[in-house]
Amino acid sequence: MDSPTFTALPCPTVYVLLDGRRWMESHRAFDEQVNQLIDAGVTLFQFRDKRLSDRDHVAIGQRLSRLVNETNAAWIMNDRTDLAIASGAAGVHLGQDDLSVEAARKMIGDRKWIGVSTHSIQQARQAVADGADYIGVGPVFESQTKQFTDFVGVDLVAAVAKEIQIPAFAIGGINLENASQIRDAGLRRVAVSGVVNQSNNPVAAVKALLTELT
């Protein structure tokens, strides 16, 4: 999937942030996880695990590229533009302290996606001006998988939904109990980790999230 088609992603969208836990169990377990989530309706994945080496990231990324090939899904490398290129990712996701969109674009080209994490409406506007293909908006709620001291809440979600034209994904502590608040604030795309990866039934969790966002 190439950058010009990004806005054609279905809405609602569940964007799942993967780590290396299943990979470290077995490569087959990782494959099964990804295939099941695609079957459940996941169209976008993100991968990075700081416990793993760069070589592992490339190996896992190449495997992800094969798994999503000829499906409606794609995957994005978190933070590392060089690893995104080496592993055949559809793009890279940047934090506020990572490479600029301009620098990443020079490396990755015009046909790959660049996402940017934003924590204020000013940062969201800047990401658009810089040429990002999509933004993450958060952290909205307290998360079980990542520790934050400040939360943007649904007010920023609503402001982004009203003003920002590129795809925006609410992120941070989103689960089956609060996903409807994201929908009511105007966004129907979410990026999640714990609610899916820590679930006893990840497929059911994805389907329930999609229902809540519809």
Tokens at 168, concatenated: 């925006």
- The pLDDT, as a whole number, for residue 155 is 96
Q: Is the pLDDT score of 2 beyond 80?
A: no
Using 50, 70 and 90 to split pLDDT, how confident is the model at 3? very low
pLDDT band at 151 (very low <50, low <70, confident <90, very high): confident
Provide the whole-model pTM. 0.93
pLDDT at 135 (0 to 100): 98
The per-residue pLDDT for range 170-184, each reduced to its tens digit, is: 999 999 999 999 999
pLDDT band at residue 4 using 50, 70 and 90 as cut-offs: very low
Please state, for a pLDDT cut of 90, what percent of the chain lies above it: 86
Q: What domains are defined for the chain?
A: 11-213 (3.20.20.70)
* Residues 104-115, mean pLDDT to the nearest whole number: 96
CB atoms within 10 A of CB 181: 18
Identify the pLDDT of residue 145: 58
Q: Say whether pLDDT at 115 is over 50.
A: yes
